Structure 1
Amino acid sequence: MKKALLQACVLCAGATAAHAGGIDRSGQGINIIFEEGSVVQFRLGYTNPSVSGTMLGVDSGNVANDFFSPHLAYKHAFTDQLDFALIYDEPFGADIAYGSNYPLSQNPIPGGRTDVLRAKADTEAITALLRYKFDGGFSAIGGLRIQRLSADVAVPAAAGYEVNADKDTALGYVVGVAWEKPEIAARVALTYNSKISHDLSQTESVNPIPIPPIPPGTVATFDTSSEVVSPQSVNLDFQTGVAPKTLLFGSIRWVDWPQTVYDPPNYPPTSALVDYDDPTWTYSLGLGYQFSEQFSGAVTLGYESATNEPVSNLGPTDGFWSIGLGGTYSMDRAKISGGVRYTDLGDATADGAGPGARANFSGNSAWSVGIQVTYALN
């Protein structure tokens, strides 16, 4: 009962955790380390966001593209006290593209190249974890995370500016502690994810003003580098049985977004491409119930407080609330989970082309679905 309930809860709360603070996508969960015995796990989430706004009376269109969130993990029990887990996920990402008539998609340089305001950033991470169990239900968790990051951004309003960054791989770590009491399905786990610093090699390009002898359409190109940090974060996950066949669960996630600044040297000096003023706090709370020996379900509520500060056009939302439903069907060795989540994305004001030219984004949302399969190897 406890394992089936937990699978439904994890899927509902985690597999579709898109559009949390900044460009957070996976939530960097490590729940597989708490599975019994040795298991393999596959999860795939899909998110279809709808994000639009207006600047100077021009509609942006839906600027957020849909995306998949894959997760693959393996957990092995070396002994009764020592466990190992290997996790693949895509913790952060962005895929934004505006319409060609949007003010920031307009190149002010005569004869300059045409494009749209857009940004695409991808991360892939592999995390290796060890967990050692002590007496009294306590355990210690630690491991390494290797992460690969790439980025591609165009801001036509900045003289046709573009930057394309090569993939960079860097290393971070995870540490944590946990306490469990299986008799009442209770667990509390606190984990810290270190920041990861990437040194991006990149190509920047821009259209200079066509003053003779510079012909119209000239593109100036620069090979440069920038440091970009994926932020440190802390996850607090908890669960407990509250009645027969009933599980209460939740999480609190803090992400230190001000650590993440992307400021290529040839971007206009008055601003950075990516720069956050505030960290984010994301909360979830859910209730799971076992309807039969094979089937259990869960409902989860999520909330992230808004900063009420101007945001970037490359991430034009501020906070959210969500509701998710999930279910798990248990067989002999396999547990198959499915879930759906609706997210109401917070209204935001985005930086514009100057004073009085900010963009307003409102009425935005996202639908997410996910499927997860966990198979016991022993």
Structure 2
Amino acid sequence: MKKTLLQACALCVGATTVQAGGIDRSGQGINLIFEEGSVAQFRLGYTNPSVSGTMPGPPLGQPISSGDVAKSFFTPHLGYKTSLTEQLDFAIMYDQPYGADIAYADDYPLSTNPIPGGRTGILKATADTDAITALLRYKFEGGFSAIGGIRAQRVTASVTVPAAAGYQVDTDADIAFGYVVGVAWEKPEIAARVSLTYNSKISHDLSQTESVNPIPVPPIPVGTVATFDSSSEIETPQSVNLDFQTGVAPRTLLFGSVRWVDWTQLVYNPPNYPPTSNLVDYDDDTFTYSLGLGYQFSDEFSGAVTLGYESSIGDPVSNLGPTDGFWSIGVGGTYSFEKAKISGGVRYTDIGDATADGASGVTADFSGNSAWSVGVQLTYALD
């Protein structure tokens, strides 16, 4: 079975979209390590989400729109893979595994500072991660292999919550390390492969600057901003990826994946955040599923379709990620010529309805939301 078919399937599965908590972006896939010989790979995804909701506000409890809170984003991927020996492969990859870019309307209740004379702004958050992963794969007899590697990850974030006395926190960038381990089994005669990989949690010690408006009582003048240098420890979560594929008919491939992410490990609680609750936390982990079918139309061209699903948790979610589950459908194709393979994919995601915590015990309703994603990938053989 031609590699063009496998490539189309991989691209279709990997098209970027909104996922758990709105911040899981790359899926931390390792398919590059299974390429033959030496290759260089570039992939770029683009996602345009539409996420909005309403919260009752004055006067008379009339609904106030959040505006389109989720901003569009790109997800790059760069990789290089080579065979060191007949049994040992090496790959190095760059991706952005997690990210957030949320901004609410300026008249939304949580964008209003209750402190008289306090600074104005909007409820917003940005978070960026960059990761470089180096992997080794050792092949045993019988199609089995062991995978292991190290991941270096850089994290930075900025959050503004005007309703919490004009609170704002900006972190410095922090670099920390984690690891990847896994096993795989292959049977090339039927294009079969199963891989199971574990991504460790990564702990970051964030240096940060917090600021807030204190209540203006003498001798504190109106508009005073109190600033604090502090630190917080956060953990990006551990996760497990199960990927599988097999030929089911001539020129036809069945493939899929299951991804588990332990979101309960991700807690962000800056020491000077005014409310008693954490600034960011999650009550539940998530399972994300995909299943697809690919077909090789010719020696040069293959296509694939994939379905994705993540179940709804049902609990109130953070305003900094107001989504709860999704289903998706994507199509992709690959054209192969000489030493290059060019793949493209598009995906539609129906984002699950969510309830977010609001002001003074009032909740916000986010429903009818969706996202479109597109991706392009170039894989070039170097030998």
Is this contact kept in 2: 1:289–1:298, CA < 8 A? yes
1:128 aligns with 2:134: yes
Is this contact kept in 1: 2:232–2:269, CA < 8 A? yes
Is this contact kept in 1: 2:344–2:377, CA < 8 A? yes
Q: 1:313 aligned to 305, 312, 319, which one?
A: 319
SS of equivalent residue, structure 2 residue 195: strand
Aligned AA (1:303):
Y
Following superposition, the deviation at residue 290 of structure 1 comes to 0.3
Q: 1:286 aligned to 275, 292, 299, which one?
A: 292
TM-score (norm 1): 0.99
Following superposition, the deviation at residue 270 of structure 1 comes to 1.7
Superposed counterparts of 1:1-378, under 5 Å? 1-56=1-56, 57-355=63-361, 357-378=362-383
Aligned AA (1:179):
W
Aligned AA (1:144):
I
Following superposition, the deviation at residue 153 of structure 1 comes to 0.1
CA distance in 2, matches of 1:346, 1:18: 10
CA distance in 2, matches of 1:4, 1:349: 42
Residue in structure 1 matched with residue 59 of structure 2 by the alignment:
none
SS of equivalent residue, structure 1 residue 36: coil
Aligned AA (1:354):
S
SS of equivalent residue, structure 1 residue 262: coil
Summarize deviations over 1:69-114 as a string: whole Å, max 9, x none.
Answer: 0000000111111000000000000000000000000000010000
SS of equivalent residue, structure 2 residue 155: strand
Following superposition, the deviation at residue 185 of structure 1 comes to 0.1
Following superposition, the deviation at residue 23 of structure 1 comes to 1.2
Following superposition, the deviation at residue 224 of structure 1 comes to 0.2
Aligned AA (2:319):
N
SS of equivalent residue, structure 2 residue 7: helix
Following superposition, the deviation at residue 18 of structure 1 comes to 3.4
Change (3 A) 1:17 1:139: farther
Aligned AA (1:46):
Y
Summarize deviations over 1:113-153 as a string: whole Å, max 9, x none.
Answer: 00100000000000000000000000000000000000000
Q: Which runs of 5+ in 1 are unaligned?
A: none
Is this contact kept in 2: 1:21–1:255, CA < 8 A? no
Q: Which runs of 5+ in 2 are unaligned?
A: 57-62
Percent identity, please.
79
SS of equivalent residue, structure 2 residue 32: helix
Following superposition, the deviation at residue 269 of structure 1 comes to 4.2
TM-score (norm 2): 0.98
Following superposition, the deviation at residue 16 of structure 1 comes to 1.8
**Which stretch of structure 1 is more off in the superposition, 10-19 or 28-37?**
10-19
Is this contact kept in 2: 1:42–1:373, CA < 8 A? yes
Following superposition, the deviation at residue 2 of structure 1 comes to 3.3
CA distance in 1, matches of 2:335, 2:21: 31
CA distance in 2, matches of 1:182, 1:2: 10
RMSD: 0.7
**Which stretch of structure 1 is more off in the superposition, 13-22 or 327-336?**
13-22
SS of equivalent residue, structure 1 residue 261: coil
CA distance in 2, matches of 1:154, 1:373: 38
CA distance in 2, matches of 1:2, 1:253: 26
Summarize deviations over 1:291-327 as a string: whole Å, max 9, x none.
Answer: 0110000000000001000001000000000000000
Aligned AA (1:205):
S
CA distance in 1, matches of 2:305, 2:182: 27
CA distance in 2, matches of 1:183, 1:17: 33
Following superposition, the deviation at residue 17 of structure 1 comes to 3.8
Is this contact kept in 2: 1:144–1:172, CA < 8 A? yes
Is this contact kept in 2: 1:15–1:43, CA < 8 A? no
Number of residue pairs matched by the alignment: 377
CA distance in 1, matches of 2:47, 2:28: 17
